[in-house]
Structure 1
Amino acid sequence: MAEIRPFQGVHYNQSLVKGLSAVICPPYDIITPQSRQELYHQSEYNFVRLESSRQLPQDTAMDNKYTRSAATLEQWLKQDILKLDEVPVIYLHDHYFTYQGKEYKRRGITACVRLEEWDKMVVRPHEGTLTEPKSDRVSLLWALQANTSPILALFEDQGQQVSSSLQAQEQNEPMISLSSANDERHYVWAITEPEVINQICGSLAHQPLYIADGHHRYESALIYQRERHIYSPSATQDEAFNFVMMTLVDFSDPGLIILPPHRLVRGISRATLNGLMARLKSFFEIEVLPLSMPDIWRQVDDLLTQEEASQDRLVLFGLIPEHLSVLRLHDFTAARQLMPYFHGELYKRQIVSIVDHIILEKLLGLSSISEEAILAYSYDRLDAVSKVLDQEYQLALLLSPVKLEVVKAIADTGDRIPRKSTYFYPKLPAGLVFYWLG
Structure 2
Amino acid sequence: MPHVRPFRAVRYDPERAGPLEAVLAPPYDVIDPDLQDRLYRRSPQNIVRLVLGRTFPGDGPTNNQYTRAAALYRRWREAGILRLEAEPALYLYAQRYQVGDGERLTWGWVVAAQVEALGAGRFLPHEATLPGPKADRLALWSETRAIFSQVFGLYHAPDEAERALAFRLMAGEPLERSVDDDGVEHQVWVLPAGPDQARLIAALDPQTVVLADGHHRFETALALAQGPLGRLPGAGRVPMWLVNTALAPVTVLPTHRVLLAAEGLPSWDELLRLAQDAFQVERLPGSPEPQGGGAGEPADAQTVHLLGPDGTAWRLRPRAQASGDLAVVALHRELLDPILQRAGGSQAAGAERWLRFTHQAGEARRWLAEGRGVAAFLLPALEGEAVRQAAVTVGRLPQKSTYFYPKAPSGLLIYDLEESLG
Relative to the length of structure 1, the TM-score reads: 0.83
> 1:117-145: per-residue Cα shift (whole Å, max 9, x none)?
22442122222223322222222222222
Correspondence list, 1:4-153, <5 A: 4-153=4-153
Change (3 A) 1:331 1:87: closer
**Residues 1:264 and 2:258 aligned together:** yes
Range that drifts further, 204-213 or 38-47: 204-213
Change (3 A) 1:186 1:387: same
Partner of 1:255: 249
Range that drifts further, 258-267 or 32-41: 258-267
Partner of 2:327: 351
Tell me the distance in 2 between the aligned counterparts of 1:360 and 1:265.
9
Secondary structure of the equivalent of 1:91? Answer: strand
Letter in 1 for 2:404: F
Q: Percent identity over the alignment?
A: 28
Correspondence list, 1:29-428, <5 A: 29-228=29-228, 235=231, 239-266=233-260, 268-269=262-263, 272-273=266-267, 275-284=270-279, 285=281, 287=283, 289-291=285-287, 297=293, 300-301=296-297, 304-306=298-300, 310-311=301-302, 313-317=303-307, 319-330=308-319, 349-364=325-340, 365-366=343-344, 367=346, 368-369=348-349, 371-390=351-370, 395-413=375-393, 415-428=395-408
Change (3 A) 1:105 1:25: same
Secondary structure of the equivalent of 1:137? Answer: helix
Tell me the distance in 2 between the aligned counterparts of 1:199 and 1:330.
46
Letter in 2 for 1:159: D
Relative to the length of structure 2, the TM-score reads: 0.86
Change (3 A) 1:158 1:276: closer
Cα shift at 1:393: 5.4
> 1:327-363: per-residue Cα shift (whole Å, max 9, x none)?
345489xxxxxxxxxxxx96xx433233334544322
Cα shift at 1:176: 1.0
Letter in 1 for 2:362: L
1:287–1:327 contact (8 Å) kept in structure 2? no
Secondary structure of the equivalent of 1:46? Answer: coil
Letter in 1 for 2:315: V
Cα shift at 1:371: 4.2
Secondary structure of the equivalent of 1:126? Answer: coil
2:288–2:294 contact (8 Å) kept in structure 1? no
1:106–1:253 contact (8 Å) kept in structure 2? no
Secondary structure of the equivalent of 1:241? Answer: coil
Tell me the distance in 1 between the aligned counterparts of 2:265 and 2:165.
62
Tell me the distance in 1 between the aligned counterparts of 2:373 and 2:411.
34
Secondary structure of the equivalent of 2:365? Answer: helix
Change (3 A) 1:412 1:80: same
Change (3 A) 1:292 1:154: closer
2:306–2:316 contact (8 Å) kept in structure 1? yes
Change (3 A) 1:63 1:384: farther
Cα shift at 1:100: 0.6
1:2–1:122 contact (8 Å) kept in structure 2? no
Secondary structure of the equivalent of 1:118? Answer: coil
2:288–2:365 contact (8 Å) kept in structure 1? no
Range that drifts further, 268-277 or 196-205: 268-277
Partner of 1:342: none
Cα shift at 1:289: 4.7
Cα shift at 1:113: 0.7
Cα shift at 1:98: 0.8
Unaligned regions of 5+ residues in structure 1, if any? Answer: 333-344
Letter in 2 for 1:86: A
> 1:227-279: per-residue Cα shift (whole Å, max 9, x none)?
23xx66xx4xx931111101111112343112222123446339743543444
Tell me the distance in 2 between the aligned counterparts of 1:427 and 1:413.
25
Letter in 2 for 1:431: G
